[in-house]
Structure 1
Amino acid sequence: MRRPPAEPRQLPLFTESASLVRIRPALKEWRYYRMEVWPDLFGRALLMRQWGRIGTEGHRRLDPHPDPGAALNALARILRAKLGRGYEDRKAG
C-alpha cells in the first residue's frame, strides 16, 4: 500500500544554530562552542553563545540584535571564524 506524499517542508536558508567542538588530546583540549538565534518579545533577536570545556556548564552570553537577520549574520560571521580556528561541526562526525 502506498503512503500519501509527505507535506513539503521549508528548510531554513540560513542556519539558526551551530554546535562546534575542538578536541586536541595532545594539548589536553576538549572544548565546545554553541550558538542559537532566539526571538525576543519585542521583534528583535538574541544571539545566545555558550562555550567552555566539554562536560561543563561553561560561559553563556546573550548578544541583542535589532532583527533576526542581523543575528543570523553575526552567527555566520562567528561560525566562519571558529571553523578557521580548528573547531569542527559536531553534527558532521
Structure 2
Amino acid sequence: MIKQPFQIYIERTDAAKNMARFYALQISVSLFGETCLTRRWGRIGTSGQMMMHHFGREEEAVRLFLDLTRQKRARGYRPRAVTQRPLR
C-alpha cells in the first residue's frame, strides 16, 4: 500500500528551438500489489511514450522518482505555469 501519493508533471519549452516537451511521473499500485512507477514523456499535445517500472518495495520506487525528477529539473524542466484569466 502506498503511504503517500507521488506524481509530477513538468514541461520544458523553448520557442527559439521549437521545443515543447513534457515529462510525467506517478507512483501507484498494480493489480497484483506491486509498487509501480509510470513514466510518460513526449511533445506537449501528444500522448507521448510510456514506460512502467515494477518494484517490490515502495522506497525503491520513490528513490527512482526523486532521481528522475532531479535529472529533469537540471535539464530545464519546470512545472507548468498557471495563467489566470481576468475576472469579469
Identity, % of aligned pairs? 30
Give unmatched runs, 5+ long, in structure 2: 83-88
Q: CA deviation at 1:66?
A: 1.4
Q: In 2, Cα distance between the equivalents of 1:84 and 1:23?
A: 14
Give unmatched runs, 5+ long, in structure 1: 1-11
User: Which structure's CA Rg is the greater one?
Assistant: 1
- Measured on the aligned residues, the alpha-carbon RMSD in Å equals 1.5
Q: CA deviation at 1:71?
A: 0.6
The number of residues matched between the two structures is 79
Q: State the TM-score, normalizing by the size of structure 2.
A: 0.81
Q: In 2, Cα distance between the equivalents of 1:43 and 1:67?
A: 10
Distance of aligned partners of 1:62 and 1:46 in 2 relative to their CA distance in 1, 3 Å threshold: same
**Other-structure match for 1:37:** 27
Residue correspondence of structure 1 range 40-79 to structure 2 within 5 A: 40-79=30-69
Q: In 2, Cα distance between the equivalents of 1:68 and 1:44?
A: 9
Q: In 2, Cα distance between the equivalents of 1:44 and 1:76?
A: 19
Q: CA deviation at 1:41?
A: 3.3
Q: State the TM-score, normalizing by the size of structure 1.
A: 0.77
